[in-house]
Chain A
């Protein structure tokens, strides 16, 4: 399997909306494998979305289980036709993107989400996610609707950061 070419901004194709996956077949699973190989070849990416490699179907991969500082996670996730069904809270966090080299910025995302999706065999999945993993899923799902984190940048000034409570 080959590492696929990543589309990079300002490639117009990144603005394209992706269509739901209809067939949960071997072809889908082969494409998912190539997508994952491409993610792993990138610089420390915790997620990738199909449209980033020019595949315009609703498929994302997220895996935040290998961070130096562990965060709550559900391991390696292939999410087909994902839908967020509930949002809670908000948090500012720094994001970068394989499709946006040499740039990072602050983005507001929901702190916790409820998520429904299918696995590559068509089985229903449901997750309650928070923090970094929820951020990664929201970032990747944006790609399915033709959005990049550049569309959601907030000021680099620091006044939006919420103070943690000291014990």
Chain B
């Protein structure tokens, strides 16, 4: 069981999708690794590391009927994957402000310039249709420390969005 695939599903959200897909995979002898599901704009989205003895097409034949019956689009990529490879983030960045185009691009470009490695990113739009606000949370590794991140993001603060940079001290005990 060494073949890993990244399985991606997208479609209109409804209750029971994860159960139906997970059951189909389990019954077909596949094994799940790390997974991440999110509801984005009313859409169901999930990415699953799936381990399967057969090739990608064998896996597709397992999932395709269930996905189709739920109205989901399926995507499969063979991947080189390993479990037990977690990296521990040492910086958390929170950004929020009145929604406008370009917040994610500006923040992540500034972070990339100082070599910041994003390990987790989530963003959301709240507020009302007339006055939406944007919230962005990022966790990752900063080789050059929090100060470099602060400096890189300072111009964003001047442009009217709130930026909070916190170091994460993971307590190992």
Contacts and interface: CB of A to CB of B under 8 A. Distances in A.
Interface of A: 42-49, 62, 67, 69, 71, 93-98, 101-104, 132, 135-136, 139-140, 156-158, 161, 163-164
Contacts of A140: 173
Contacts, number: 68
B171 interface: yes
Nearest to B93: A158
Interface of B: 84-86, 88-89, 92, 94, 120, 122, 137, 164, 166-173
A126 B122 CA distance: 43
B145 to A, nearest CB: 9
**Interface hub of B89, B122, B166, B169 (most chain A Cβ within 10 A):** B169
A161 to B, nearest CB: 7
Contacts of A157: 122, 137
Q: Which 7 A-B pairs have the closest CB atoms?
A: A47-B173, A158-B137, A139-B173, A94-B170, A96-B172, A102-B84, A45-B172
For the residues of A in contact with B, the DSSP-based class is mixed
Contacts of B89: 94
Contacts of B170: 94-96, 104
B137 A94 contact: no
A164 B164 contact: yes
B94 A94 contact: no
Contact of A103 (B86, B120, B166, B173): B86
14 contacts: A46-B172, A71-B169, A94-B88, A94-B169, A95-B171, A96-B173, A97-B172, A97-B173, A98-B173, A136-B171, A136-B173, A139-B171, A158-B94, A164-B166
B59 to A, nearest CB: 26
**Interface hub of B85, B122, B164, B172 (most chain A Cβ within 10 A):** B172
A98 to B, nearest CB: 7
A67 B172 CA distance: 12
Contacts of A161: 92, 94, 166
B88 A96 contact: yes
Given A136-B173, A158-B137, A164-B164, 6 more contacts: A48-B173, A67-B169, A96-B170, A98-B172, A102-B84, A136-B171
Contacts of A96: 88, 170-173
